Each structure stands twice: as C-alpha cells, then as structure tokens.
C-alpha cells in the first residue's frame, strides 16, 4: 500500500477559535503518529480567518516534541515572505533538535492577499516580479557555502553550523514547480486539492525530467488530496457539506471559518451554487473507506505518487480524527504500525 501523510491548515471553525484550532493540530498529530502516517506538514497562511497558523516552523517544533516517529515539516514555508538566511537558521535548529524527522517544504505563493504580503516583506530587500528562484538559490548557498569569492555572505554562518538543512521539497499546483524540482533534484509535492493544473501531467513530468543531485538520488513525488471519510457514504456526505459551503464562499473571496454541518445543510443554495459545488467536488474524495479508496485508485494509478498526503477539513475535531483512522485502516497503515 502507498504511504499516507497529513497536511494540516489548523482550520478554524465557527465553533473552534484559532487558539483551540492550534491545539487540535497538536492532538491530531499525536493521533496520526500512532496510526503510522509518514509525515505531518503545516501550511503557512496569513490574514485568513479560516486558518490559525501563519508560522509553520513554530508548530513544527511543538508537534515534533510530542510525537515519536512521524516526520514533521512545512507544507510549506512561503519563501518570498522570508529572508533565506532566517529560513536556513530556523530549519537547521529544528533539524538539530529533532534529527532525521524534519522536512522543509517551500512554496512560491504569498499565502495571503496583496496588502498582507507587502506588510510581511516591507522590511526585506524587495525585488520586482517573482523572485522565488533567486531566494531558493540563496537558501541553497547557505547550505553549500559556495558564495562567490569576495561575497560578503562568506563571513556569515547559518547556525547551528554542525547541522545540515533538512530535505527540501518544492510545492506546486502547476507545472512550474514540477519542472524546477526535477531540474534541481529535489522532492516534489503537488496540491491536487486546489490545483487547476492536471495532477497527472505534473507528477509524470517531474518524474521523467528528474536529475539526480546532492539533495536526492531519485525522484520522490507526493500527491496532496482532500479526503473526508466516515463509516458510511451518507455520513461522509453530511460532514462534507461544511466543506461545500466553505469552498463556495472562498470562490467569492470570503475566507470565513468553516461552518457547521447544520448551517451548511440549512443554507438556501441556488441552482448555480449547486453547480459550482459539483464542480469543486472533483477535487474532494468523499465516502466510506471503501468508496474513497475506489475513487482514489485511478488517480494513484495514473499519477504514480510515491506518497499520498491527505488534508481533511471537517467541522468536528473528533470526526476529523476518525476520518484519518478509517483511511489508515483502509490503506493498511494500522496493521503496519502495530
């Protein structure tokens, strides 16, 4: 069976305040660690009422400290928001404290709106346009120490200097990151749960174009998918109603806390809104464990991921934990963990 991992947004609901959402993330990480999940990644978002965590590196340290086996990482750090030296220092620290258990996932999007992105970067050396590649190059140089002769950074050391950066993963929802990850020989994670680009194309393109490097000898592709599982198809559909209304609002630019099932069911949907929900359901896998596994298999078979990374956003925290438990059992993780 394919390994399973988790990507977590620390989702805020109408009944769960942001501080409680952060504690729920720690609780969920403990839970899936015992189930045999391979990784637990935290995302970076800013100025969103629906997402509690803007600082994945802080959450990584908290979660790694209370788990035993699972790898913990960023899914991801939005590199344009940060000085590469700061990223290098923080993730070297995490790797020193939890050796062999940390992942550094990098994204090139801001993870927020324009005004907030400006506030995040206003004290940095701003460049016009997309400077992700430049920042990635600098981050790598803090590890390799291959700055040109005479460069002022040759006198600067990213501490702790006896610890390597953890494995770097490039995240993407288009063909840009799949091409870049292949060229520089890094791991690649594709966000099927919100991408409009074809996941199969991105995953196969990465694998076919991969060039071995000091970072990785062979390609490793992660496919991130949105899943909601319950004991029955009917119960899973009921839980998914919160997602449906939340996604409908997001498409309108309303990043509100996740609504309850009762609010979602009572919402007076128009025919156009129901059509939009059906369209969004192409990026969500809902049902009993057997149903979800059946729905996922064609995508797994054609995109050939090395790993499936699951995001489950439901209103009730215990229902979310159960969803991951059922999925682990369906994919044989519970038996392997035991």
pLDDT for residue 126 = 59
Q: Left if phi > 0, otherwise alpha if psi is -120 to 50, otherwise beta: which for 330?
A: alpha
Enumerate residue ranges in the chain where pLDDT < 70.
122-129, 334-338
Of 307, 319, 329, 313, the residue nearest 70 (C-alpha)? 307
What gap in Å lies between CA 70 and CA 63, rounded to an integer? 10
CA distance 8 to 23: 12
Task: Give the integer Cα–Cα distance in Å for 31 and 25.
Answer: 10
pLDDT for the residue 131: 85
Reading the block at residue 175, the tokens are: 């063909």
- Reference 8, options 193, 237, 220; nearest CA is 193
Q: Which residue matches tokens 């994204």?
A: 107
Return the pLDDT at 128.
Answer: 61
Determine the Cα–Cα distance for residues 251 and 52; give it in Å rounded to an integer. Answer: 20
CA distance 73 to 169: 10
Question: How many CA atoms lie within 13 Å of 242's alpha carbon, on the beta-carbon side?
Answer: 25
CB atoms within 10 A of CB 73: 30
Residues 188 and 221: beta-carbon distance below 8 Å: yes
What pTM was estimated for this model as a whole?
A: 0.94
Cα distances from 56 to residues 2, 34, 38, 63, in angstroms, run 26, 22, 18, 10
Q: Are 292 and 227 in contact (CB under 8 A)?
A: yes
- Rounded to an integer, what distance in angstroms lies between the CA atom of residue 334 and that of residue 332? 6
Do residues 229 and 287 touch, judged by C-beta distance below 8 A? yes
- What's residue 146's pLDDT? 95
- Comparing CA positions, the residue from 176, 170, 199, 221 lying closest to residue 282 is 199
């Amino acid at each position: 069976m394919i390994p399973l991992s988790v990507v977590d947004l620390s989702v805020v609901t109408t009944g769960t305040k942001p501080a409680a959402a952060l504690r729920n993330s720690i609780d969920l990480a403990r839970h899936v660690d015992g189930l045999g999940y391979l990784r637990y990644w935290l995302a970076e978002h800013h100025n969103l009422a629906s997402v509690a965590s803007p600082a994945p590196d802080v959450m990584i340290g908290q979660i790694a400290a209370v788990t035993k086996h699972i790898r913990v990482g960023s899914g991801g750090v939005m590199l344009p928001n940060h000085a590469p030296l700061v990223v290098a220092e923080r993730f070297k620290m995490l790797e020193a404290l939890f050796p062999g258990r940390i992942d550094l996932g990098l994204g090139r999007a801001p993870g927020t709106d324009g005004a907030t992105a400006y506030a995040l970067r206003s004290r940095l050396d701003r460049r016009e346009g997309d400077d992700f590649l430049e920042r990635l190059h600098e981050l790598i140089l803090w590890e390799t120490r291959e700055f040109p002769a005479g460069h002022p950074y040759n006198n600067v050391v990213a501490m702790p200097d006896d610890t390597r950066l953890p494995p770097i993963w490039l995240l993407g929802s288009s063909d840009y990151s799949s091409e870049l990850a292949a060229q520089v020989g890094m791991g690649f994670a594709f966000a099927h749960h919100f991408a409009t680009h074809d996941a199969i194309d991105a995953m196969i393109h990465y694998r076919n174009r991969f060039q071995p490097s000091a970072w990785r000898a062979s390609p490793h592709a992660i496919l991130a998918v949105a899943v909601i599982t319950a004991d029955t198809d009917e119960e899973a559909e009921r839980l998914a109603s919160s997602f449906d209304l939340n996604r409908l609002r997001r498409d309108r630019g309303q990043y509100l806390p996740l609504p309850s099932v009762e609010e979602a069911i009572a919402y007076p949907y128009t025919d156009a809104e129901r059509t939009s929900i059906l369209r969004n359901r192409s990026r969500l896998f809902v049902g009993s464990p057997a149903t979800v596994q059946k729905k996922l298999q064609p995508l797994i078979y054609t995109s050939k991921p090395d790993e499936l990374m699951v995001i489950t956003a439901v209103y009730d925290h215990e229902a979310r934990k159960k969803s991951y438990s059922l999925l682990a059992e369906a994919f044989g993780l519970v038996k392997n963990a035991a």
